Amino acid sequence: MSEVIQGDTVERDYEVESGIVMLNIIVGEGQAGASVVWLDNQVIAKGDLGPVTLGPGAILTGRVLGIRTIALDINPMTNRTAVTYILTGGATELDVTLTKDAPQDGAAVPYAARFPLVAKGANV
Amino acid sequence: MKRLAIVLLLLGTAPLAAQAPPAVTLDDLKTPPSPAFVLMGIAPTSVERPTTPRALGLALLDSVEGNNGNSALPQDLAVELAPYWLSPRPDLTFDQYDRPGFWQGLRQSLSVSLATKGDDGTAATTSSTAPTGTLLGAGARASWMLGKRSQLANDVLAAYRAKVTKMLIDAGPPQPGQPASAGLPADYQDQLRPFATSIVESLKQGRWIVEMAAATTERFPGNDTSHSEVEKTAAWITPSYRFLRSTFDPKTGKLTQVPTVDFIAVGRYIHDRTATDDRDGIDVGGRLLWESTFFSLSAEYVQRFNIAEPTHRLTGMVEYKISDNLYLSGTFGKDFDDPTTEQGNLQALLGLNLNLGAKPQVLGPALQ
């Protein structure tokens, strides 16, 4: 069940373990999108992305996953835009959807997400 | 006997082909965007288009409250909505939207139009036999896009994604507390908007689009909801193809402004119980349309079946844009035969149309 946020930014800690952490980005509402993914300051993926393998939790701990996405309103049926970020392979699955209306047809809507990757139990 | 009619309509909004004699006067080949309104002759500018269930509820409530308790039927309601898009679709990707299966394509393109027109009393004064009572219309429309995206569309999408990717990389990774647009160029909207326009247009080129629509109108004599009579029923199917003609400049994000060429085939059935004869016309035909920014030319052939004396129309049409709201239009050729008149069917109509709203599609009259 995705957490839905009416807005264009999100920041959440994500607890990692030893498993391989995966990121999936879904630009919804039929809109055209593109994203860039950083680990700290290093670009690790860009474009119209499918699932991205981030690596085992052990080498991710303490790093920050940063993502920027732009959704372009090309769907004449709606001005809604939405981006869903899904992280798997950690202690739990993180599934968060950001949604925002384009101010007009053809407008671009930028989104930004930060996920500090922390060891399981670090936030206790 | 042949007729040559030259009509000059100065600054008039009346449709040109309303001068033509056929009993059934549905002259625009394209599937109507709001079929119920076409059957009822409702102006599109007065239509509510709710995009949420709440907005739909408010529109219905307004129309019921507007009748002041005089009728159980909502009065002067005109609503058009796309049911699929009343709910958020955060999981629907661009590829799924652009290349849906048959049923998904119908679901996401389905729009429903619903309207009522109250009895304004004019019918009773003009004819003792004219129907009175609220008129209810309902219609639906859907389309299905066939085939793969063109190379042109793929090129536009690739250029758009490359542009966005560079912008985002230049902006750097998101920082805590910053807005999502932080680091983007101040004019990023202006830079990306041409790509949106190009994507939408390029997706239409080099592909077949099959549009289907149906509508019906019912009269409630005396505004009595327990009794109604069907007046008109119509169905349309229009496969159309826009030829691939544009080229793309990845630097500006714009397509070249070349004239478009469209082929539109049509099949339509109209049952009209208000007509005195030929109540069940079936039309089959097609149109080839060449259109530039200021000028459009088209040729149309339509065969009408299922009437006492089957007939056809073969016409050429020309339209010149004088300004955003002013068009010079001409129609030349042979119109449908009209058995109710001794006049011939040669068409030569010239008109000046003032259009407050969307650009007409060469001929834009509705079924009257």
Chain centre to alpha carbon of residue B54: 26
Q: Which of A18-32, B137-151, B170-184, B330-344 has the lowest mean pLDDT?
A: B330-344
| Ramachandran area for residue B278 (φ above 0: left; ψ -120 to 50: alpha; else beta) | left
Per the structure, how many domains does chain A have? Answer: 1
A42 in a structural domain: yes
Strand partners, B88: none
Residue B310: is its pLDDT beyond 50?
Answer: yes
A91 in a structural domain: no
A115 in a structural domain: no
Q: Which of A20-34, B64-78, B167-181 has the lowest mean pLDDT?
A: B64-78
Q: Whole-model pTM? A: 0.79
Please report the DSSP string for B338-365 in residue order: -TT-SS--EEEEEEEEE-SSSPP-S--P
Mutation pick from B92, B187, B198 vs chain A, by most beta carbons of A within 10 Å, is: B92
A110 in a structural domain: no
**Cα separation of B86 and B96, whole Å?**
18
A82 contacts in B (CB within 8 Å)? 88-90
Q: What is the pLDDT of residues B14-29, one digit of tens each?
A: 333 333 333 333 345 5
Average pLDDT by consecutive 10-residue portion of chain A (124 residues)?
Answer: 92 95 97 97 94 95 97 94 97 97 96 95 66
Mutation pick from A2, A43, A74 vs chain B, by most beta carbons of B within 10 Å, is: A74
Domain residue spans in chain B?
Answer: 31-146
* C-alpha torsion angle, residues B229, B230, B231, B235 (rounded to 10): 180
Q: What is the pLDDT of residues B116-130, one digit of tens each?
A: 887 655 444 444 455
* pLDDT recorded at residue B362: 38
Contact B299, B286 (CB under 8 A): no
Write the ipTM: 0.95
B109 contacts in A (CB within 8 Å)? 77
Domain that holds residue A13: 1-84
CB contact under 8 A, B196 and A107: yes
CB contact under 8 A, B180 and A112: yes
Contact B207, B242 (CB under 8 A): yes
Block residue for tokens 């000059």 = B8
Establish if B171 touches chain A: CB-CB under 8 angstroms. Answer: yes
Question: What is the average pLDDT score of chain B?
Answer: 77
**Distance from the B55 Cα atom to the nearest Cα atom in chain A, whole angstroms:** 14
**Cα separation of B104 and B144, whole Å?**
9
Establish if B164 touches chain A: CB-CB under 8 angstroms. Answer: yes
* pLDDT recorded at residue B14: 35
- Give the nearest partner residue to B90 out of A32, A43, A97, using CB atoms: A97
Closest residue on chain A to B198 (Cα): A74
